[in-house]
Amino acid sequence: MRTKKPVKGGITDHFAPFDLQMFANVYNYNGSTLISGTSGYDYIYNYSNYYTTIDSGDGDDNIDNYYSYYTSINSGSGNDYITSYYSYYTTIDSGDGDDYIYNYSYNYDYTSINGGAGDDTIYNSSYYSTITGGSGNDRIEISSNYYNVVQYTSGNDTIVGLGEYDTLLFDSMLLYTFDPTNYTIDGSDVVLNVGSDSIRIVDGNGRKINIVDMLLLGGIDKSKGKVRTLIEQGSISLDGKRVDDTWMNVTEEQLSAGVKIRKGKKTYVKFTL
């Protein structure tokens, strides 16, 4: 088992004692490492490494993660700027603050992003990513729309580019309070009302909605896997007809007329525009 090698940045020496540090400029090309920043501004560049842990500490940090695998990034509180470029199995926790996070690969990179508290801006151009904006008024833009999961927590969020193969999830507690009929159409946008908060889905009006996502929104279950199992078992029906395809989509025309989705004999939810 390899031991992580610590790398710290300082005023004049990248290996200065932590209590003397005011800022760090760290360039990491040398394999598996544990990189620690300071309580001030840090610039950390991680290139072509495996199993790197980056903890930049508090402050307004700038972190670039390029061509790396299994990187864990924790930027602490502050207004951070984080870029992950052609990196895979990356975990990003930007902490409190108004953060900017850019994840790019146009490939299956399985990145997990958590913006934490604050008004964050998150861009994702990758497949199979999980994105949590956290509390605050966040803006999430997706340009790959290929099996990404957006986890809503709270705040007035805006989501751009949510495609028919992407999934919008709610916090497990919200599943029991969210009313799937409580939304408004604003031009080409759909605004979902969640208590005093809201989610604006830009250009969402007229798009198809996957049957699995509708069951999650309706509170039939809080697990995507369990919903798929229910469909495969023949326990779900749409307007009286059994649903047996997890890739089935419900169209705007169907929603305009109103649809009823039922689980078993007693549990059902109605959707209508």
Instruction: Taking residues 166-181, report their average pLDDT.
Output: 59
Instruction: Taking residues 98-105, report their average pLDDT.
Output: 96
Look at residue 178 in the predicted model and tell me its pLDDT.
47
pLDDT for residue 128 is more than 70:
yes
DSSP 4: P
247, with CB counted inside 10 A (0-12, 13-18, 19+), is: exposed
φ/ψ of 130, rounded to 5, equals -115, 125
Q: What share of the chain is helix, strand, coil (3-state, %, to 5)?
A: 10, 40, 50
Look at residue 118 in the predicted model and tell me its pLDDT.
97
pLDDT for residue 130 is more than 80:
yes
pTM of the model: 0.73
pLDDT tens digit string along 30-66?
A: 665 888 888 889 999 999 999 999 999 999 999 999 9
Cα separation, 126 vs 147, in Å, equals: 9
Nearest to 92 by CA among 109, 120, 77, 71: 71
Q: Are 249 and 211 in contact (CB under 8 A)?
A: yes
Look at residue 15 in the predicted model and tell me its pLDDT.
33
> Which stretch, 27-36, 170-179, 205-214, 236-245, has highest mean pLDDT?
236-245
Q: Are 51 and 69 in contact (CB under 8 A)?
A: yes
